[in-house]
Each structure stands twice: as C-alpha cells, then as structure tokens.
Structure 1
Amino acid sequence: MTETFKPDPDAVEIVEQETCFQGFYRLDRLSLRHRQFSGAMGPVIHRELFVRHDAVCVLPYDPQRDQVVLIEQFRVGAYGKSENPWLLELVAGLIDKDEEPEEVARREAVEEADLQLTSLWPITTYYPSPGGSNERVHLFLGRCDSDGAGGVHGLAEEGEDIRVHVMPLEDALALMREGRLDNAASMLALQWLALNRAEVRGLWT
C-alpha cells in the first residue's frame, strides 16, 4: 500500500491571515509555508480560502420499492454555465447550529421533501473542493417510505422552491450516465448505492 505524507506538528506555518469578507460565508486570504516532500520548508505562498459550514447530504431510499427520492431546485452556481441551472440533487443542508450531522439529515428531509427518515447509513465524508474551501460533506443514505412522496416544499422564509421527484434507482443511474445529474454528492451516493444495493436491501427490508 502506498504511504502518504505524514506531517509533523510544525509542517504548516501561517505567516499572515486576513478576513477579506464576512457574511453568511467568509473569505480569508492566507500567506503560509508548508513542509515539502524533501523535508525542507517551502516558500511563502498566498491562497484565498472560502470558509464554509460543513454540509450534510442524504439520498432518501425506499428499499421496498427500490426507489430513490431526488429534489430539484435553482442553483446560482450552475447559472451561466449549465443550459439548465435547475439541478437534480440530494436533500442537503449546512451544519450551522449545534447539531450532529444525523440531526441535520433528518431535519432537511422533512423541510425539503416532507420525508421521515427511519434509518441513516453513513456513506463517507469528503472535501468537495479542498484547493480553496474548508467545507467537509457528510454523506448519508436515508431509509424512507416513498409512497405519496412528491410536491413542492422548502422554507418560504429562505426563498426555497424545491420540487420532489421519486424514481426507480435504475432511472436515476441512467440520468447520471446521460449527464443530466451532474453534481458530486448525488453521483457519489448513487454510485455507492448501486454497488451496495443488495446489502442495503438485505438489512433494510
């Protein structure tokens, strides 16, 4: 197995850190040096860091019907780059209070899809863009009953307008293969479920 770099306590030196913007999110400018693979400290480099709350994403799955629940909403990050900035996604939310990731998953499922999750299966945690953001995503599979799921949901005070879609897992995988479902959390969760479907259904049905 390939060994990765093991940093010592002094492997990173922050020379200067400045907050350039502070709103719901924060943008910092850092000047720093870090240990190089040779063992020597490298030169001072300058980086902007997008400081975000950690996030939770959950794929609601009905193991009895082998169906998944996806949500559709406008995403400003896709506007101007995608032909259609209304994206199919997972239920998701930020950990912006004193909550555990599992609590956020259950709360957001109710707010965004009017779904009760009866079990949660941790898939992984990952950094979606570590070159410029410190956000870490907690990814879950959530057991649900998809019977009657649908409609438009979300919190009006947050400007949310979220439409719920229920579909067989195979249909969701086809959308991903066609490039019509193109955000990282959704792709990771669907691929994981495709690989582990037999085990999940064996334990959840």
Structure 2
Amino acid sequence: MTAGIDTPDRRGRTGLDRHGLGLTGNPRVRVREVEVLSCDWYVLRRTTFDYQHRDGHWSREQRETYDRGDGATILLYDPERRTVLLTRQFRLPAYVNGHPDGMLIETAAGLLDGDSPEEAIRREAAEETGYALGAAEHIFDVFMSPGSVTERVHFFAAPYTSATTTGGGGVAAEGEDIVTVELPFPRALAMIREGEIADAKTIMLLQWAALDGPFGPGRQSGNAPE
C-alpha cells in the first residue's frame, strides 16, 4: 500500500497516479503511465507518454511534473497617488540559485486551496498586506513554467487606499514574514530595469499597468480603469 495512491497521504489524497490518464484533447499524445515520485506536500510525478511528431512518427517520452496546485496574484495600485503596493519576503529557491539575499519584491500571491481565483487572491492580499481591495479586475491566466510545473496563475489588479490597512504580514504559522513596499509607479518600473524586481509575475503586472492598465497611455492621473 502506498500513501497518495492506495491509502491517503498526509493531505488525505489518493489516486495521485491517475492524473493525466484518459486525456483525449490531443490525439498526438497518448499517456501510458503515471508514477508518483513524491507527495510529501505537493506532488512530483513522472509521466510516460507516446508523442506523434509532425512527420508522423511516434516516440516514447518521459517528463517529470511538479504539481503544487493553481495560484493567483494581484497588483494593488492607487490611481490618485500613482503608487503600487508590493510585498517583500524571503524566497529560498531564489536564494540558493544566485539571488543575493533571497528577499524578493513581489505582488501579493498565493495558492487557490480550493477557493475561486478571486476569493483566493482577496484572502491572500488581506493576509499579506492588510489592505482591503476595491473591485478586482481579472487580467489574464498564465502557465509560469510549463516545462516542468503544472501551476496556472490567475492575474488580477485592484485599487487600494491607504485608509484600509488592517495588519498583514502573512500567516505566522506558515513561517511567513512579509512586509509591504509602497512605491511610486515610475520607481517600480525602474527597479525592473535595475534588477531590484526580479519576480516574473510582478514584472508582468507592472508592465500591464504601464501598457493597458491604470498608468497606461491616455490614462489621466486619478482615473482608474473602466
């Protein structure tokens, strides 16, 4: 008996070796076997599949995928003061891969954990920043690392005001130690060019804000997006 397959793992899951079996959306892909390599918290799988190439021949392939669930992120902005509200927290994977101190400046984000994307990001924004959100605008959905990670991230933006803070800092029981960083929007863009902001989701939302969002061409100061 194997946890996560025949018996529940510590998150109560079974059948983790059936993920991807029976997919029919792409006739050039035939999933043959799914092996669970680890399910300590998230799930690492090795999938064997047959793939038909453009010239018609088939090959047998194997890929490892890391499944941590889907997530959501949000850019908080103040159209009146032309500022954005970001977070700073320690990220071990970045630290061990060459970031000077692992302290990344990011948009608020988190996993869905069974909630809808908007419900999840309102929860995460409140936990991380302590600020209440205005009307949230859905921007786009993105596979952030499709070569190995299954996660799809739902991107949002919403206004905030300095009068709505209620704490924040993250969930202490989960080891979070998050501080908020309020920046003038031009400074945030400059920090991308200077390498001070190196988080992909944050760069994408800041560039959206400059091109099509609240600080885009034709937007007068103080006007939020329609």
The answer (yes or no) to whether the contact 1:19–1:28 under 8 Å persists in 2 is yes
Q: Could you tell me which residue of structure 2 aligns to residue 192 of structure 1?
A: 208
Give how far 1:51 is off: 1.1
Pairwise CA RMSD: 2.1
Give how far 1:37 is off: 2.1
Question: Larger RCO: Structure 1 or Structure 2 (Cα < 8 Å, ≥ 6 residues apart)?
Answer: 1
1:53-110 alpha-carbon deviations (Å, 9 max, x no partner)? 101011111111111001000001111221120100010010112x110111111111
CA–CA separation in structure 2 for the residues paired with 1:193 and 1:202: 13
The answer (yes or no) to whether the contact 1:71–1:164 under 8 Å persists in 2 is yes
**Aligned-pair identity (%):** 35
Pick aligned residue for 1:89 from 106, 109, 115: 106
Pick aligned residue for 1:58 from 47, 61, 74: 74
Please state if 1:168 is matched with 2:189.
no
| Alignment gaps of 5+ in structure 1 | 1-6
Q: Could you tell me which residue of structure 2 aligns to residue 202 of structure 1?
A: 223
Give how far 1:204 is off: 4.8
CA–CA separation in structure 2 for the residues paired with 1:170 and 1:151: 26
The answer (yes or no) to whether the contact 2:130–2:168 under 8 Å persists in 1 is no
Q: Could you tell me which residue of structure 2 aligns to residue 3 of structure 1?
A: none
Q: What is the count of residue pairs matched by the alignment?
A: 197
3-state SS, counterpart of residue 104 of structure 1: helix
CA–CA separation in structure 1 for the residues paired with 2:104 and 2:143: 21
Amino acid across the alignment from 1:25 = Y
CA–CA separation in structure 1 for the residues paired with 2:167 and 2:196: 21
With the length of structure 2 as denominator, give the TM-score of the two structures. 0.81
CA–CA separation in structure 1 for the residues paired with 2:167 and 2:194: 25
With the length of structure 1 as denominator, give the TM-score of the two structures. 0.89
Give how far 1:150 is off: 9.9
Q: Could you tell me which residue of structure 2 aligns to residue 119 of structure 1?
A: 135
Amino acid across the alignment from 2:101 = N
3-state SS, counterpart of residue 119 of structure 1: coil
1:129-164 alpha-carbon deviations (Å, 9 max, x no partner)? 101111101011121113576976111111110010
Q: Could you tell me which residue of structure 1 aligns to residue 84 of structure 2?
A: 68
3-state SS, counterpart of residue 112 of structure 1: helix
CA–CA separation in structure 1 for the residues paired with 2:165 and 2:25: 51
Tell which deviates more after alignment, 40-49 or 135-144: 40-49
Amino acid across the alignment from 2:48 = S
